[in-house]
Structure 1
Amino acid sequence: MDGFKESGTPISQSIVANIQLGLPATVSKLSSKMRFIDKIAPTLKESGVIRNIELINPLTINASGISATNRTSNAFGGILYVAGAVRQDVLIDDGSIYKTRQESIVDVDEIDDLDNQKKLKFIDIINVYKLLGDLMEDDEKPELVLVDVPILLEQQDVPISGRKDLEKVYKQCVDTIEEFWVKYKEKIYPFDDNGIKIASVGNKRFGAVIFALTQDKVKYVVDDIDRNIIKNMNGIIPKLQDVGVKRLLTGILVKRTRTAAYEISRINEEERNRLEPQSVGKYEMVGMHIKAGNTTPPMLVEILGSKEVWTTEMLDELASQIISLITFDQQKAMPLPLWYAKYALKPVEATNNGKNVILQYYKSQAREMLKNEELESIWKEDLDVFEE
């Protein structure tokens, strides 16, 4: 360490210099993008792309939320997982919670680590559909059911041929979805005017409706839109590439609003007919973004059915029910039944020293059984009878 030390620029000085030099340019770009959003927002609202939603006050509704989660832990050269789903019923009468009920399902097992995230996605969907099936058999059914997993799979979810383990879980998921809709479709809104409303609530496909505002795709929009907006979009879409669709949507959606609804699989021709299973996907799926409060982020609502069965009035009513169930204006706010369901899943997610509690116990018990050769004794129990 006694050698010659060449002077240079410390990282701290570089950070300070770049902040001082870069800040004005960054602020200028952000200001330009915000001005663009402020300019286009009134046009989109006047054309019907953004719609105001009225709150239900006082709120009276029987609603359910079904949420799923999973956690993993590396073990025995593969992965141990715990996956759980909770259904939370909430009966709200005249603005007050009158009655609640909870059902749950938990799955603990091992899988290999190849495509494990896809497998767990399929397992979560399977668990949610199991709870949905139980709900449909109840004598007292809710008016609205909100889930936080996709209602249908997409073509991109189809496993690459040859991955047998993933194909097995995928097939089980597809079969579960198909069996549910074959059995209960005619009892679900809008296929039954008095049926249960089932909607998926998430935060994907930001701004998809913007790309439906073209001459050849506007026919897939459910709500009536002033066609003059389509002429303006030719000059707007190139600018969107700089602004960002997510930023635009966040800027134009204000408190208690929704976007125009659109048929999800038809606005992108490259993904046409991508809904799986195809026997259910043929009924199409409609999507719209909603925003409940000033700080509440936009949410995507997906429901089964095409523009032939959904109307603007029906979608406004659904949006009103969901927004009315979001009682807090916060970044992580969500509809009340879904929030309760997510909160009930805390034991599945519980950690100790950064490790999942359930999986640590499961791993220790599995290791102990392997060490004591208990499992081998159980497997051989019947064989020993014949050997005697």
Structure 2
Amino acid sequence: MKAITFQGIKNVEVRNVEDPKIMKNDDIIVKITSTTICGSDLHLIRGSIPKMPTGFIIGHEAMGVVEETGKEVNKFKKGDRVIVPFPVACGYCWYCEHGLWSQCDNSNDHGEVGGILGYSELMGGYDGGQAEYLRVPYANVGPRKVPEDLTDEQVLFLTDILPTSYWGVENGGVKKGDTVVVLGCGPVGLLTQKWANYMGADRIIAVDNIDYRLEHAKKFNNVEVLNFEDYDNTGEYIKEITHGGADVVIDCVGMDGEMSIIEKIESKLKIQGGSKSAIEIASQAVRKGGTVSVVGVYGARYNNFPFGDFFSRNITLKMGQCPAHSYLDRILDLIKKKEFDATDIITHKMSLSDGKKAYELFDQKLDHCIKVVLKP
């Protein structure tokens, strides 16, 4: 089969690789009909995530049709159309039973956190979904059937960015009348803005430095927009225009934020996990007693983290890897009822064979790229 594979820093290639096989009795094999590139995949190709072997198949946002089932699979049959959530979860450990699906104790032999599809040996070593076929473990637990009358594009993002963005807003406790700041206008940030509107936020301020993404946020999400490059201190400016700060700040950027020269040096030396510019803005933009919800990925440890700023102002910090399984059914129901639509973020549809070009467009933000859907 064809698959997008990691071939080194800033280098992905579409290669012919071996087809996946049933390895355990509760596996299924899915023939992929749509997949996509996530911002988190860029961490892999930039070298921010360790234990990426050459030839590793990338991708954790994929859907398709069940091709084969293991002997113990009772939830699906060949021909069923499914979406596959990105966390790999067993369904029976303490964490799964308590809704912390992304922290599954049995899905990752290589680390303390739960497994993730297509996300390095560190996250379980599972082959990813940017391919023609995907092996899905614990199939009775994760995947969901989707109705035939919904397009792939309507439901594909249930695999990650729809539940992640919903969870970020819910984790922040956004409620009717709140002022919310969303840091980042990439796919997760744009969907977070939609969910904040859905939850009844009165004022939403979207922050980024890419003009076309800010324009998209303003056009589709009914938000105010700020380009952080226009201000000497964006956090303090937000505090000023909100008369004391936002009720909730949601960081959808993580370590991909703009890095200072010192941070670049420290990151190269592996003594810093990437940029902390977004969390620094959050520490200034949130009101006293407010909440900062972090869904952007952070790695390793950070020097000069603004812990004191949060402590002194009674800020609640909430963060982590989204337990996607908990949100699939409720969001799918909203999509069925036409109460929520995420398809406006799709700017490019391409063949899986053009995966290398798709990564370049997405990584370098060319041709006003926001989200690419790949078709095998």
The TM-score range, normalised by the shorter chain, is under 0.3
Query: RCO (CA 8 Å, sep 6+): is it higher in 1 or 2?
Result: 1
Between Structure 1 and Structure 2, the one with more helix by share is 1
TM-score after normalising by structure 1: 0.25
TM-score after normalising by structure 2: 0.26
Bigger CA radius of gyration: 1
